[in-house]
């Protein structure tokens, strides 16, 4: 074991010099084994608690969530969809036709939403009702305009509170499949929602008002109609939860079709149709009612009680909650001339012995939270890991380089040292944080069993190195 630590020391830093950034002195001559002493420690005071996640900024995701769920821990969550509409350009595809807009009446208006993933992940949701209403958006949806047009749990898009249609109850069946022998693939029929024909009449009138140049411009329709807000009615019981990812947005998959009787060639009446693509701007509007939670620790932390984080910690993706922590006494415990070999943060799943109904985040990441929409990544680890170990029910997150900086700044730069003593946040990484409703309850640092803890391996240098 001692040889392993010596190998680490030969390629890492000598913090005893305290003159240079530890990352700048790789390869320093530290080959004298007699002056090295390996140590291993897990006794560190950790302050940790959960906070609402209000800093998610993501637009035009590959998939967006739609539906409603209830959890005894996290309360009620509804995933509403905000989306622009675009007309297909004339001649883009022979399968689509604007026909003649001199229509006599609208026959039907159908919204088609393809499934990607579904939550809960098993068959018990098949055939559950989903009730929604559709409204007209009353603000310009601008790509990259900031928080107000982002995937966020805070901002409420402005919309006309008189519904265009609804409430409509549908019965999603994402488990119904058909085998396509031509493509040798399994297909899932999209969810089809029949809308009030007044919606189709209104949209056709908007198209009729467009000039020829606008009709040939795919991006012109939002100047006439800002978009749709698909608002789901929340549920109050777990057995009513039903959420799925809408896929194929801004393609031919997710569309709104208006079928109507029109006049073609000046005399003959035929059934024609106008298609609208859902996109390009689209995002999920997440609405949460945390007061419905039955977990007192969770509700306390969402209301600002940091002390209860000692017992339980809560992670919920898509604008739910994240963990905030710090190790305030680290530089007082690890003292002297030290080479830090590895520091791993360990968090255990409270419900590791149960099969998750929605899903547990596959991987966690650490970052420093600055303000809403602004974060700062930690120094990159070569083996950051952070992946969920299902056999252990555990996360292990490498924060070695960050703690190296704490030791370094504490000796040479008091002003920046205070910055490094600030809290670090933990959240699901990558697209999981945006596109999945995954959640997990973890033991806090004061728990009587499997508490949040840190394993640190470091090398103490017993001689002076110039």
Residue 461 has pLDDT above 60, yes or no: yes
Closest to 133 measured CA to CA, from 199, 85, 60, 86: 199
Q: What pLDDT shows up at residue 285?
A: 85
pLDDT tens digits for 408-431? Answer: 765 555 565 555 567 899 988 866
* CB contact set of 264 (below 8 Å; sequence gap of 6+): 99, 100, 270, 272
pLDDT tens digits for 177-192? Answer: 777 777 787 778 889 9
Closest to 287 measured CA to CA, from 401, 385, 151, 176: 151
Q: Domain boundaries in the chain?
A: 2-53+319-461, 64-289
Looking at per-residue pLDDT, the higher value among 194 and 189 belongs to 194
Q: For 132-156, what is the mean pLDDT?
A: 70
- Give the DSSP letter string of 206-228: HHHTS-HHHHT-TT-GGGT---E
Looking at per-residue pLDDT, the higher value among 54 and 367 belongs to 367
Q: What pLDDT shows up at residue 34?
A: 52
For residues 329 and 112, give the distance between their C-alpha atoms in angstroms, rounded to a whole number.
56
Q: For 292-306, what is the mean pLDDT?
A: 96
For residues 50 and 315, give the distance between their C-alpha atoms in angstroms, rounded to a whole number.
8
Mean of per-residue pLDDT scores for the chain:
79
126: its two tokens: 């098949």
Q: What pLDDT shows up at residue 373?
A: 62
59: its two tokens: 């637009």
Residue 14 has pLDDT above 50, yes or no: no
Output the pTM of the full model.
0.82
């Amino acid at each position: 074991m001692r040889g392993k630590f010596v190998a680490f020391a030969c390629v890492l830093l000598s913090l005893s010099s305290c003159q240079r950034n530890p990352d700048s002195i790789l390869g320093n001559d530290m080959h004298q084994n007699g002056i090295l002493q390996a140590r291993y420690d897990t006794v560190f005071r950790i302050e940790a608690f959960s906070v609402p996640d209000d800093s998610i900024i993501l637009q035009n995701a590959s998939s967006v969530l739609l539906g409603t769920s209830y959890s005894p821990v996290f309360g009620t969550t509804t995933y509403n969809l905000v989306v622009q509409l675009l007309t297909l350009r004339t001649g883009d595809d022979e399968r689509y036709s604007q026909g003649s807009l001199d229509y006599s009446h609208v026959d039907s208006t159908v919204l088609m939403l393809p499934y990607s993933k579904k939550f809960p992940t098993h068959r018990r949701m098949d055939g559950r009702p989903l009730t929604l209403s559709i409204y007209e958006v009353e603000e310009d949806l601008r790509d990259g305009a900031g928080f107000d047009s982002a995937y966020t749990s805070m901002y409420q898009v402005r919309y006309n509170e008189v519904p265009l249609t609804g409430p409509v109850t549908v019965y999603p069946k994402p488990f119904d499949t058909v085998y396509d022998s031509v493509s040798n693939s399994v297909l899932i029929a999209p969810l089809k929602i029949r809308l009030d024909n007044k919606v189709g009449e209104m949209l056709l009138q908007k198209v009729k008002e467009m000039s020829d140049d606008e009709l040939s411009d795919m991006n012109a329709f939002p100047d006439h109609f800002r978009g749709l807000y698909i608002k789901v009615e929340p549920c109050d019981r777990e057995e009513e939860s039903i959420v799925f990812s809408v896929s194929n947005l801004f393609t031919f998959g997710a569309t709104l079709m208006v079928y109507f009787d029109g006049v073609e060639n000046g005399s003959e009446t035929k059934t024609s149709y106008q298609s609208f693509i859902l996109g390009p701007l689209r995002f999920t509007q997440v609405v949460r009612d945390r007061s419905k939670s039955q977990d007192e620790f969770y509700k306390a932390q969402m209301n600002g009680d940091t002390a209860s984080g000692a017992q339980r910690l809560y992670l919920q993706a898509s604008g739910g909650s994240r963990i905030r922590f710090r190790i305030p006494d680290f530089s007082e415990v690890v003292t002297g001339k030290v080479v830090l070999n590895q520091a791993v943060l360990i968090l255990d799943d409270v419900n590791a012995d149960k099969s998750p109904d929605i899903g547990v985040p596959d991987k966690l990441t650490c970052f420093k939270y600055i303000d809403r929409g602004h974060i700062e990544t930690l120094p990159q680890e070569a083996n950051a890991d952070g992946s969920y170990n299902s056999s252990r029910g555990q996360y292990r997150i490498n924060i070695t380089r960050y703690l190296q900086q704490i030791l370094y700044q504490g000796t040479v730069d008091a002003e920046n040292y205070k910055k490094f003593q600030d809290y670090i946040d933990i959240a699901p990484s990558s697209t999981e944080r945006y596109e999945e409703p995954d959640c997990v309850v973890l033991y806090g640092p004061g728990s009587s069993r499997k508490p949040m803890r840190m394993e640190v391996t470091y090398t103490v240098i017993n001689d002076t190195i110039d």
